[in-house]
Amino acid sequence: MPPELTVELPEAPEEPTTINNAYLPPSTGRIFMFGEIHGVEEILERKLEIWGEFYREYEMRHFFIEAPFFTAYFLNEWMQAEDDTILYELFADWHYSSKNNPYQLDFYRTIKREFPETVFHGIDVGHGSSTTGQRLIEYLTANNLTDTEAYTLTRENMRQLEHFDRTRNHGLRSSVYMPQNFIREFDRLGDQSIMLVNGGAHTHLGYFEGQEGIPTLASVLYERYGNALQLFDLTGYAIPAIEPLRTDLITVSGIEFEASYFGIDDTAFSNVIGREFWRLENAYAYFHDSPLTGEALPFMNFPTRVEIGQVFIMDVHRVDGTVDRMYFRVSGYYWRNMPSAQEFIPSALD
């Protein structure tokens, strides 16, 4: 059960939001929210697998992305177009972002080819206002569509970015603007379930580092939708699933476990000359209640892909020849907005 949070939002700017669907009741659909690292090939491939299952097996059609309203608008136009002109224009707009890579192009082309009824929804502030946003404004103006919701929302999205650029208040972006944009798009769907993908920093329950009391996007959505919000972490797919070098037997708390050995790295800092890793197989159930030390190790430190429900041993080799053994379990914890394993003290087992 996710922890209860008291959500205290930062003060919104004086300018009221132009589109306000607060009168709509919360959607009764489910939100499958995935945290990612943007632009990583392995994560994009995994997202396609997940969306394919949702699309085919559960007939989902609505894909929410960390992008502005106007970017999603153009993606939906491109989904109905005969060529890739619109997509290439967007790709050019992404020149200085992690989206400007061939894997991202393949990702969207695959969705258009294999999941053609997909509808995109953008929930971010108006990044790309001077390029993508301005192009949509010019298009709508040229076609006498300035009295449409698309025009209003594009202007609203651009104002959100203007305020964000003035203040650099990431809490306001993630705790006010993004939730507002999400609620507007999601609640009008009624009872339809959706997939939502955001950067990993937005996709855990809690607060942002350095902005204690400012909740993440996931925290704000949980306040409104409760357990209809389900959280998943894809960041581990940025680390390859390396095969172990060998299998050892290691006894912990009187029980012998198979241990997949991944070798010793060449990490050198302070008086450390290397770190040695094992993964204890089928050990989580034994240690899920063992006391924690308060220390955490982000996934990026491990030599192989890390998943919830795993247990690792790390031997820290020091310059003086001593070795410190540490135990970590993976439970969905975030440290400083990074998915991390928590150090524990093995308890006596019956």
Residues 6+ apart with CB under 8 A from 84: 78, 109
E strand segments, 185-322: 194-199, 207-208, 211-215, 229-233, 246-252, 255-264, 272-280, 292-298, 311-318
Does the domain at 31-237 match CATH 3.40.50? Answer given as yes
Return the percent helix, strand and coil in the chain, to nearest 5.
35, 25, 35
Hey, which residues does 211 pair with through a beta bridge? 208
Give CA–CA dist 223/347, Å, rounded: 35
Give CA–CA dist 334/204, Å, rounded: 7
268-293 per-residue burial string, b: 16 or more CB within 10 A, e: under 16? eeeeebebbbbbbeebeebbeebeee
E strand segments, 52-182: 62-65, 119-122
Q: What is the DSSP letter of 304?
A: S
* Phi, psi angle pair for 88, to nearest 5°: -65, -35
Pairing of strands 229-233, 31-36: parallel
Per residue in 63-73, pLDDT tens?
999 999 999 99
Tell me the two tokens of residue 135.
């192009």
Q: How far out from the chain centre does Cα 315 lie?
A: 30
Tell me the two tokens of residue 344.
């524990």
Q: Token pair 């290691």 is at which residue?
A: 250
Q: So what's the pLDDT on residue 203?
A: 85
Q: Are 96 and 153 in contact (CB under 8 A)?
A: no
Q: What is the DSSP letter of 130?
A: I
Give CA–CA dist 326/330, Å, rounded: 13
Give CA–CA dist 249/221, Å, rounded: 44
Per residue in 33-92, pLDDT tens?
998 888 888 899 999 999 999 999 999 999 999 999 999 999 999 999 999 999 999 999
Q: Token pair 């109905």 is at which residue?
A: 80
Torsion-angle region of residue 128: left (phi > 0), alpha (psi -120 to 50) or beta? left
Domain regions of the chain by residue span? 31-237, 241-344
Q: So what's the pLDDT on residue 115?
A: 98
Q: So what's the pLDDT on residue 3?
A: 33
Hey, which residues does 274 pair with through a beta bridge? 317
Q: So what's the pLDDT on residue 341?
A: 93
Closest CA to 229 of 182, 176, 181: 182
Q: So what's the pLDDT on residue 4?
A: 37
Which residues of the chain, if any, have pLDDT below 50? 1-22, 210, 350
